[in-house]
A and B are shown apart, each in its own frame.
Chain A
């Protein structure tokens, strides 16, 4: 019997993975071939999806992107024995895009059947939790602090400090909440992990619960991710059945249960306090801080809130030690980040690398330039609130502090590539428009400022009192940055100003002298 892998990840499904799996099953039956089809997660090479893999003696051999019409030809060429075909890429593990990554968080993603606990354990799953169950909670916190892990949702706050705050509070009702409201354009790492290795998230949250003294956890998943919701719910049911969740986990005396809650299409609910309101069944209005959620969080109780990627990094930290994880990365940015290559890019996908890799390496070496074949003009890093980088900033290493120095942010590690047809004034306008649509409305700079921002940029584009309006725009951006309650209004000026400063020619201003700009960097 031959095992064939066809991903069940939403991105793979979006380009026909289900149809390809059905076609392979049908063709195998027709040819009397004994084939077992496993629906795995995605390897992250999304430009090759649907990526079909065949298990051979040499290892898994990759073919992609496979369309249903290619299936008979693949059988004809002998793909079940790993034989060459025009869509073949040889051994999956040897594809440079995959081989040259540092897969810690995504070590299992795409390799296993996401819902098989057996697969999960066979590939190192639950080792971290097993260690944690034998440790004192404070030692778990220390291990996470040692690892240097910082919040992967974008803010980069040290995870260990957050956990210690909750740990140190007196015992009582406490919660763990996972922010899976991955609303930033250009990011899909959370989704890929939830659909490709859900037990990793469950394990990370369970470890957090033990460390903080919580018995109940919630995963807040955006409603735009129906596949993630379904996969997580199934995985949680199975984990409960196998006693990896619930009462007295694996006889350890610890109990922890986990629930999935859906968002309802509000970007702002990715802000942690807004998410808490939403989890409580309310309008997603941002809360004032302090009190911080670690002290007064969900239902007013101490709550550990982390992003999917932060929780998913925890199992390997507990399995291999904080120092192992800390040895990756540069400066104060330790470990790896799952970079996501998106937009107008030839080889889009997920690249997990240690901090320190540059934008240029990511979009040229991995991404292979634009999909349209035209020159890259701008890359937006870190989601809709991140800066647009012009090409002369592509060599700055991915590092929270280095990016802050150039008025940009690493954020969640999403890179959206634009070719030279992009109109940066339009992009700046969109940043304001997006903020106007998605603002929760609680604070004035964000609610009103964003609408005024659209109007001002419209006037600049129409060349009405340009100089005056540019001044108004700068002034408005200062007000929004300093006066907004949360990062939504506070960071919207980042894409706007980066577009204005990096691409002034799109705002009817002289193009920057590239040589002078280079010298200034």
Chain B
């Protein structure tokens, strides 16, 4: 178990080692912002992913030391939750609801349309690297199904045509 350091004296690596990478620096800063509290691990991972787009492998030992956890514990959490990405994804993350209420309104066709038009499978990224599509189970918009979440923006009653409009607008919205 790597429970060597205490919370207050956490440091990314031994002083004589090579200079820390940007990911390591970022991870350390996020942990510090959360008081290096192990119960805030999920919030830490959310914040780090928000900053870097994913959770780089190099960040895991840094977080483990800062929170006085084992690397296995941090790895276990990162891999348990669907939200956390271990590799870079597209510029936009588009989550399409595949749960029952959306099934009743044709989300299966919508998913197939999305896969065809973005030339990737669910969970994959379009060849131009702009969009990652992902299935999700319920966005809480079940009276206005099918629902799609892009970043933090929710869309309701999304048919294939509206989906294409949303995708076409992505970079425009991001630029605003």
**What is A's interface to B at a CB cutoff of 8 Å?**
10-11, 13-15, 46-47, 49, 182-188, 190-191, 223-227, 261-267, 278-284, 299, 340-345, 348-350, 371, 380, 384, 414, 416-419, 422, 427, 430, 434, 437-438
Contact = CB atoms under 8 A, between A and B. Distances in A.
A47 B103 CA distance: 18
16 contacts: A11-B154, A14-B147, A224-B139, A226-B152, A265-B82, A281-B40, A281-B41, A340-B143, A342-B142, A342-B143, A343-B100, A343-B145, A345-B143, A380-B100, A422-B104, A430-B100
B104 A184 contact: no
Contacts of A419: 104
Interface in B27-49: 37-43, 45-46
Contacts of A185: 97, 99-102, 137-138, 142
Given A263-B42, A266-B80, A343-B104, 12 more contacts: A10-B140, A10-B141, A11-B154, A11-B156, A15-B144, A261-B43, A342-B104, A343-B100, A344-B105, A348-B144, A418-B104, A427-B100
Nearest to B142: A342
B155 interface: yes
A283 B143 CA distance: 31
A344 to B, nearest CB: 4
A384 B100 contact: yes
B105 A187 contact: no
A25 to B, nearest CB: 17
Contacts, number: 154
A349 B143 contact: yes
B143 A265 contact: no
B82 to A, nearest CB: 4
B58 interface: no
Given A10-B154, A281-B40, A225 B104 contact: no
A44 to B, nearest CB: 9
A378 to B, nearest CB: 9
Contacts of B2: none
A280 B100 contact: no
Contacts of A278: 42
B154 A266 contact: no
B132 to A, nearest CB: 14
A284 B84 CA distance: 14
Contacts of B156: 11, 14-15
A348 B143 contact: yes
Contacts of B103: 343, 427, 430
B121 interface: no
Contacts of B145: 342-343
A438 B100 contact: no
A223 B154 contact: no
Identify whether the interface residues of B are mostly helix, strand, loop, or mixed.
mixed
A13 B143 contact: no
B38 A284 contact: no
A264 B43 CA distance: 9
B157 interface: yes
Contact of A46 (B76, B80, B143): B143
Given A183-B137, A191-B140, A261-B43, A15 B157 contact: yes
Interface in B133-176: 136-145, 147, 149, 152-157
Contact of B142 (A15, A188, A283): A188
Chain B interface residue number, banded:
35 or more
A417 B149 CA distance: 22
A264 B142 contact: no
A187 B141 CA distance: 8
A345 B102 CA distance: 11
The list of the 4 closest CB pairs from A to B, nearest first, reads A348-B143, A185-B99, A342-B142, A264-B81
Contact of B141 (A188, A265, A279, A345): A188
B57 interface: no
Q: Among B46, B138, B143, B145, which residue has the most Cβ atoms of chain A within 10 A?
A: B143
B142 A281 contact: no
A186 B104 CA distance: 11
A264 B138 contact: no
Contacts of B52: none
A264 B80 CA distance: 9
Q: Among A10, A284, A345, which residue has the most Cβ atoms of chain B within 10 A?
A: A10
Given A14-B155, A223-B83, A341 B102 contact: no
Q: Among A190, A261, A279, A348, which residue has the most Cβ atoms of chain B within 10 A?
A: A348
Given A14-B147, A47-B143, A345-B143, A417 B104 contact: yes
Contacts of A430: 100, 103
Nearest to B39: A281
B108 to A, nearest CB: 9
B67 to A, nearest CB: 8
Contact of A343 (B67, B105, B137): B105
Interface string B54-72: 0000000000000100000
Contacts of A340: 142-143
Contacts of A261: 42-43
A11 B144 contact: yes
Contacts of A225: 140
B141 A416 contact: no
B19 interface: no
